[in-house]
Amino acid sequence: MLKGKTVTSSPVSLLKIGRQNVCIISMHELTDRHNDLSGGRKDFNPELYIDETEQIALIYGNDNGVLTNRYNLTGFIKFAELDDTAGLININGYACKKANIKWNDAPAEIKASDEYFEKKGFVATKKDGKDIKASFPTRLISEKRTEACINIISDVASATGAAMGDDIEESLSNAISERTELSVEVYEDTFGDKTNLKIQYPRKANALDTVSKSKEVEAEVKEPEVKEPF
């Protein structure tokens, strides 16, 4: 049936490096344990803390391509920043404490890993379907870093025309539905041994560089890891 048919579309490209106008195509809630927007999760590492960093992923696009950018919604305290570390443990540079968490509230990866409890010396046995509490390492939340995280995503909402006091999520949803343009800087970011394209410095759109609103772009780009804001 395809004989004689020709290709009429090409793979979606990434946004080009530099300042440009874009629209926000979609917004997704996820955590740092998600590999991508499809819901796939990273392999569980029993040597790390069990809490997850809530994130918002925004997909930006224009006629030249698309790019997904993740934004952390919570920041955490670094172990080296503390003078008093009594009762805390250093896991991957973060100050962590042991917290009692109900079995039913534990991540699925933990409940499926008998080795985790043996390695950590925890005892977690379900009896008669009741919740059994076990102690797991969780990071200490930093109010200062969390505020910085929210300010970063707030800047995006502001660039779409949101005013001070407006709800951030509602403002971003409106920008998506109304195809509101904003100007962003696309740059190369190196994290570890990987280099990825990221987005920074959102501001109101440049009227001389408008986005074609007749071209609907729907694509998902695998995102890089998100670093702490400072």
Amino acid at 49: Y
The number of beta carbons lying within 10 Å of the beta carbon of residue 216 is 9
- 58 φ, ψ to 5°? -110, 135
Both 83 and 135 in one domain: the answer is: yes
Both 41 and 146 in one domain: the answer is: yes
Both 53 and 134 in one domain: the answer is: no
Both 22 and 129 in one domain: the answer is: no
Segment 95-123, tens digit of pLDDT: 999 876 666 676 676 666 655 555 554 45
More confidently predicted of 134 and 175: 175
Segment 120-133, tens digit of pLDDT: 544 555 544 455 55
Task: Give the domain range for residue 55.
Answer: 18-75+142-204
Residue 120 lies in a domain: yes
More confidently predicted of 193 and 145: 145
- Spatial contact of 203 and 10, defined as CB atoms under 8 Å apart: no
Number of H helices, E strands in the chain: 4, 8
Indicate the residue among 139, 167, 184 that finishes a domain. Answer: 139
pLDDT of residue 127: 45
What angle is formed at CA 114 by the lines to CA 45 and CA 39, rounded to 5 degrees? 50
The 8-class DSSP code of residue 110 comes to: H
The CATH number that applies at residue 189 is 2.40.50
Both 152 and 67 in one domain: the answer is: yes
The number of beta carbons lying within 10 Å of the beta carbon of residue 57 is 20
Residue 1 lies in a domain: no
> Residue range 214-228: average pLDDT?
45
Both 133 and 95 in one domain: the answer is: yes
Both 108 and 31 in one domain: the answer is: no
Residue 170 lies in a domain: yes
Residue 222 lies in a domain: no
> Residue range 33-45: average pLDDT?
78
Question: Over the Cα atoms of the chain, what is R_g?
Answer: 21
What is the pTM for the complete model shown?
Answer: 0.77
Task: Please give the Cα distance from 44 to 47 (Å, whole number).
Answer: 9
Both 84 and 198 in one domain: the answer is: no
Q: Is 92 left (phi over 0), alpha (psi -120 to 50) or beta?
A: left
Point out the least confidently predicted range of 8-12, 168-172, 179-183, 221-225: 221-225
Count of structural domains within the chain = 2
- Tokens coding 194: 């990987």
Residue 24 confidence (pLDDT) above 80: yes
* Beta-sheet strand order (sheet of 134-139): 89-91, 94-101, 134-139
Nearest alpha-carbon partner for 63 in 194, 193, 179, 190: 179
- Tokens coding 99: 């917290």
Both 165 and 67 in one domain: the answer is: yes
Point out the least confidently predicted range of 39-48, 89-98, 205-214: 205-214
Question: How sure is the predictor about 74, in pLDDT bands with cuts at 50, 70 and 90?
Answer: very high
Residue 92 confidence (pLDDT) above 50: yes
- Spatial contact of 52 and 41, defined as CB atoms under 8 Å apart: no
pLDDT of residue 224: 46
Question: How sure is the predictor about 188, in pLDDT bands with cuts at 50, 70 and 90?
Answer: very high
Residue 73 confidence (pLDDT) above 80: yes
The number of beta carbons lying within 10 Å of the beta carbon of residue 32 is 15
pLDDT of residue 118: 53
- Spatial contact of 201 and 40, defined as CB atoms under 8 Å apart: no
Q: Is 93 left (phi over 0), alpha (psi -120 to 50) or beta?
A: left
pLDDT of residue 218: 41
Residue 36 lies in a domain: yes
Residue 21 confidence (pLDDT) above 90: yes
Task: Please give the Cα distance from 181 to 33 (Å, whole number).
Answer: 30
Nearest alpha-carbon partner for 107 in 47, 48, 44, 55: 44
